[in-house]
Structure 1
C-alpha cells in the first residue's frame, strides 16, 4: 500500500490570507496543499489600499474602480466629502480577486484541494492528518502535513480545535447585496452611512465596483436585522429597483486573538486570527499580511525544527499594527455609541487635518508621525466634541 505524501504545509482556507500564505511558501520551494471549499465568497466592500497593490503585486486589471473620495453621511443626513489627494482606494470584486490569488498560488506550485475541512489528528510520528470532505463522497479524505495554517475565516474550525481562546472572539455581523450600478452612479466615490437605524454600533456602506456596487451593513447586535437595514439603505439612496446579483453574509472579527498558534504545528492567519480593523472593518490588507507572516513563521519552523517560531507571526503583526488596531478600537467605542456622537464624528471629518492624516495612514498602512501639531489639533477637537463644547 502506497502511503500518502506528506506536505510541508497544509493551508486551510483559500481567501486572501490562505492564498497568500500558500503562494509565498510555494515560491520558496515548500510543498503546499491549499484546501478550500467551493463557491464561498465573503461579504466585503472590496477596498484595498495602494500599499497592498505594491506589496503583493496586484495587477491593475483586477481593480474595478479607483475611489478618489468618500462621502460620510451623518444621522441627520449631513454629507461630508473626504477627497483623497494624491491617491486612491482600489476596489476589487472578491469573487474574481480571491480566485486570482488561489490561481497564483497554484501557478507557484501549491496543490489546490477542494473540500470542507473537518478535523486534525496526528499519527505515530506526530504528522498532522487533516480530514476533509469532498461534495458527493460518503467518506472523508485525509491529507498529511508537517504544519497547518488555519485561514478558514472568522469561525475558524482549525482555530477552535487547535488554538486556546480562538472560540472567544467577538464579531460584527456583515451582510451586503451586490447590485447593478445605475447609469447615474458615481464610479469614483464610496458612501459610508452613520445612522443608528442602519447600524446601531457600526455603519452601512455603498462601495462602487464598476458595473456593480456593494450595498451593505454591519452590527454586533444579533437582534438587529441587517437585511432590513440594507433594504432601507437601498430605498433611501434610489437603489431599490436595481438588479441584485448576489447576497452574502458572514461574521467579521474586530480584535486580534491573543494567541495565533498551538505551540506545535498550527498557526492562524486572516479572519481566523481576528485581524480585521475596528471602526473601519478593513480586512483584505491585514489578511494578506497575516498570511505572509504565517508563511514566514512556518518556513522558519520547518527550517529550524523549533515550534516557537510559529509565535513570531503574531508578534511581528502586532509590532507593526497593534497600535493602529488599539486606536481604531477606541474610536469605535466612543464615536459609534449613539447618533449624537455619530453626528459629531461626521462633522469632524470636515477638518482638513483629519482628512489628510486619515488617508495618508490608510494608503500607507502606518501612523503618520510627521506634523505633530496636526495630531494635537485633532485631539483637542475630539475632546471638544466629546464634552459637547463644539456643535456637530
Structure 2
C-alpha cells in the first residue's frame, strides 16, 4: 500500500493508483473510499473511515483555502467533534437582531449561564479537521476531481476517480486516476460528484462577505456581540450579518431570489452598519454558492453526498457547518460498519446506515426552519414581526435549547399557544410599519437613482 500512496503523490502522467476490486481479493481487505472535498463534511467523513480501518483518500483542490462563511457553530459541536477551544476566535454572548426600521431585539437575554456561540474562521477549522483526518490515517490528495467513471457491474466493480494533481512536488497538470470501492461527495453546492451520478439539481443561494479590519475601539464594540440585519435592502429572502472574528468582522449577506443584485445588497448591509464599521479596511472579499434545500438524490449506488453537496444548509438561519460535519461522520461510519459486517458497501446499506438515520434526526428541524423562512422573510412586515418575536423570552429560550444542543426543544403547549397568538398579533401590528418601511426604501432608491442619472 505504501508504494500505491507514493505513486499517487508523484502522479506522473498518465498515472494510476490501482487496488484490485476483483472477487478473488481477500474478503476483509480494507475498504477504500474517495472523499471529494476537504471541508468539515469531507474531513469528518475521512476521519471516521480511517479510524475504522478503511483507506480514505481525501481529495481537496485547494488545501490552503476555505469556503466563505459566517463561522458560527453550535456550542455542542466543540465537545461532539473535540474542537480545541483555542481555535475559537470569539465567544459570542450577545446577539442583536435589527428590523427593517432598525428596531433592535436583544436575542441573548435567555442564553443559559456559561453558554455562548463560538465564532471561528473556516480556514482555521477546516485545516484542523483535515490534519486530524490525516493523523487518523487518511491520505490527503491535493487535486481537482474532473470526472467519475461509473462501474460496469454496480455491485462489485470499482469507481474510477479522475483528477488533476495539484501536489507542489509534481508536475502542475498531472492527470491521475484513483480506483475505489465507494465515493463520498463533499464538494459543495456545485458538486461535480453529484453531477457525475445524476443526483439532480437544486436551487442555490449566493453568500457574499467582506472581512473588515476595524480600529481597536470599533473592534471592542464587537468583542462578544454578533448582529443580524433583516430587510429588503439587505436581502429579499435572507439576512445580513456582522460577525466578530479574531482581528476583524465578517460583514455579509445572502440571497436566492436576487443573486444578480448581490453587490447592491452588500452595500445595503454596509449602509445599515455604517456607524459601527466606520474606519474599517476591507482585507478580503468572498462569495460562494450555498444550497437552499436537500438534493433530490443523496445516495446513488455506492456514491453518497454529504454537507453542502447534499443540501444540508438550513433556511431561515443559513447554518451548515455542524450539519456538514455530522453528515460526513455519519456517512463514513455507515460505510465502514457495513464493510466490516459484510465485506461490501451497497446502496441499501448506505441508505439504511446513513440516510435514514440522518432524516430521522434532522428532517423535522429542516422543515420547521423552512416554514419560518416562508412566514417571516416574505416582506418587511414579516421581518418586523420576526424581530418583535425575537425579543420574546419564550422564543429565545426554545431557540437556544434547539440551536446550542442540536435537538428540537420539547413542546410546551400553553407557552406555544401564547406564542401563536403573539405571532398573529405581531404580524397584524407590523403590517402597517412594514409597508411604510418599504415605501420609504423605494423613495430612497428613487432618489439615489436620480442622483446617479444627474452625474
TM-score by length of 1: 0.94
Deviation larger for 333-342 or 3-12: 3-12
Aligned twin of 2:17: 4
Structure 1: segments with no counterpart, 5+ residues:
none
Aligned twin of 1:247: 285
Aligned twin of 2:149: 121
Q: Decide which of 381, 393, 397 is 1:340's aligned counterpart.
A: 381
Q: In the aligned structure 2, how far is the partner of 1:138 from the partner of 1:63? A: 37
Q: Decide which of 308, 311, 314 is 2:348's aligned counterpart.
A: 308
The Cα of 1:180 is off from its aligned counterpart by 1.3
The Cα of 1:43 is off from its aligned counterpart by 1.5
Q: In the aligned structure 2, how far is the partner of 1:390 from the partner of 1:120? A: 52
Asked if residue 133 in structure 1 is aligned to residue 171 in structure 2, the reply is no
C-alpha spacing 1:120/1:371, structure 2 compared with 1 (3 Å)? same
Q: In the aligned structure 1, how far is the partner of 2:334 from the partner of 2:162? A: 24
Q: How does 1:341-356 map to 2 (within 5 A)?
A: 341-356=382-397
Aligned residues: 389
Asked if 2 retains the 8 angstrom alpha-carbon contact of 1:163 and 1:261, the reply is no
Deviation larger for 360-369 or 123-132: 123-132
Asked if residue 230 in structure 1 is aligned to residue 255 in structure 2, the reply is no
Aligned twin of 1:77: 102
Post-superposition CA distance 1:168-208 (Å, at most 9, x none): 21112101011214323321111000011111111100001
Q: In the aligned structure 2, how far is the partner of 1:99 from the partner of 1:48? A: 16
Asked if residue 260 in structure 1 is aligned to residue 275 in structure 2, the reply is no
Asked if residue 102 in structure 1 is aligned to residue 130 in structure 2, the reply is yes
Asked if 2 retains the 8 angstrom alpha-carbon contact of 1:181 and 1:210, the reply is no
Asked if residue 170 in structure 1 is aligned to residue 170 in structure 2, the reply is no
Asked if 1 retains the 8 angstrom alpha-carbon contact of 2:33 and 2:182, the reply is yes
Question: What root-mean-square deviation, in Å, do the aligned CA atoms of Structure 1 and Structure 2 show?
Answer: 2.1
Asked if 2 retains the 8 angstrom alpha-carbon contact of 1:385 and 1:391, the reply is no
Post-superposition CA distance 1:267-286 (Å, at most 9, x none): 01000000001100000010
Deviation larger for 133-142 or 341-350: 133-142
Q: In the aligned structure 1, how far is the partner of 2:257 from the partner of 2:224? A: 31
Determine which structure has more spread, i.e. the larger CA radius of gyration: 2
The Cα of 1:265 is off from its aligned counterpart by 1.5
Q: Decide which of 15, 31, 34 is 2:58's aligned counterpart.
A: 34
Post-superposition CA distance 1:294-331 (Å, at most 9, x none): 11221134232233111132211111111111110011
TM-score by length of 2: 0.81
1:115 is paired with a residue whose SS is strand
